[in-house]
Every structure is written in C-alpha cells, then in structure tokens.
A and B are shown apart, each in its own frame.
Chain A
Amino acid sequence: NAGVTQTPKFQVLKTGQSMTLQCAQDMNHNSMYWYRQDPGMGLRLIYYSASEGTTDKGEVPNGYNVSRLNKREFSLRLESAAPSQTSVYFCASSERRAGNTEAFFGQGTRLTVV
C-alpha cells in the first residue's frame, strides 16, 4: 500500500523553465492538496481539489496551476519558474469522515530554482 506518491523527489530548474510535479494516491480519497513548505512559514496551501473535477485556490496560488486528472492523480504545474518558488512541495489526500479527516502526505519534492 503506497499511500501518496510524489515524483520527482528532487529537481533543479533554471528561471523561466516549466515543470509538472506529479502526485498519485491509492486510498480512494476524494480530496487532494498541494502545499509548499518554507523555513518559518509552515505548510502553505497552494491549491486543493475537494473532489474529482473541482479545483480551488488556496493561500498562495500565484505562479501555479493544477489539474485533477482523475480521482487518483493531482498535478501541480509551474509555467515559468522563479527563484521565489524554491521550496519543498508536499501533496496530500484526505477523506471527510465522521470520525476524523486525516490528511496523508507524500514524501515531498525538493525544488530549487536558480
């Protein structure tokens, strides 16, 4: 049982390059999320998808786009990378239940933009 899988684990981009971060979950969760983690800033929500076919902006959406490809997959795209997007990116998924709504995280993607 893999849980949440992110690819790649590490990436270095030049300013202006584009790339897509991939995320897949095998827990049949409806909701998926993309966060970035910067020192002293915690986990900031970039975009989320409450269910297949819907996406919404989070706290810091500028410079990013997302696609909920199907129930399993939720990708994050940087169209023109900037040094300010250097960060660790986490994908997560959850399912709203009466008991709890635990979020399960991937291992993260460490992105450096030079």
Chain B
Amino acid sequence: GENVEQHPSTLSVQEGDSAVIKCTYSDSASNYFPWYKQELGKGPQLIIDIRSNVGEKKDQRIAVTLNKTAKHFSLHITETQPEDSAVYFCATLFSGTYKYIFGTGTRLKVLA
C-alpha cells in the first residue's frame, strides 16, 4: 500500500550537534519528497523539498538526501539551535494521484 515510514519518533541532541531523520516510502514512482516543521499549536510548514532527479539539496543548515534505489530520503540539520525544537514530518506525493501522505513525525528536542 501507499505509506511513508519515519524514524526515529523522538530525537534529543545537544545544541550545536547534528540531527538526522529518515523516511522510507513504498511507491517507487513517487517523485516529490518534502519535509515539514510543525511548531506547537500551528499547522506544519514546508522547510525543504527534493525532486526525484536530484540526490541532495541544501538550504543553509538543513539538507535533504534522496536514495531512489533504496526508496528512502533523509533530513539533516547541522549546528542545531534551540529554535529547531519542533515536530518534523516527511511526506510524499504518490504518482498518478494527488494523495499527499505524511510520515508519523519526529519530535526533535535541542538541549541547551
């Protein structure tokens, strides 16, 4: 079936360290892989995305990598700061439909 698995469910890191969150998807024809950040009491917001013709994309301290053969993609946050503490979701848009499916989320805590 169409699903996205996300790990870990919680992650605690010291300020300044790196954080990595991984997702695996089921539809080999998926071609769009975004990451969202959700702060307390708000809806999720897009922070970075990647298309299937690109292996890695960076935007300042965040990066996303994609391995289409293994059907997984990862979010990397370097030099973490307290304001990075939030819930992060991976997602994918399944090909041939407009189904936008999200992972189960990772609660990131950056410890000062």
Known A100-B32, A101-B32; contact A45-B99, beta-carbon cutoff 8 A: yes
Query: A107 touching B104 by the CB < 8 A rule?
Result: no
Q: Dominant SS at the A interface?
A: strand
Within B1-55, the residues touching A (CB, 8 Å) are 6, 9, 32, 34, 36, 41-46, 49, 51
How many chain B residues touch the partner (CB < 8 A)? 25
Say how far A84's CB is from chain B's closest CB, in angstroms. Answer: 18
A selection of 19 A-B contacts at a CB cut-off of 8 Å is: A4-B43, A33-B100, A42-B6, A42-B103, A43-B44, A43-B89, A45-B101, A48-B99, A56-B97, A59-B101, A94-B100, A100-B34, A100-B46, A102-B34, A103-B44, A103-B46, A103-B91, A107-B41, A108-B43
Per DSSP, chain B at the interface is strand
Inter-chain contact A102/B46, CB cutoff 8 Å: yes
- Which residues of B does A touch, CB under 8 Å? 6, 9, 32, 34, 36, 41-46, 49, 51, 89, 91, 93, 97-105
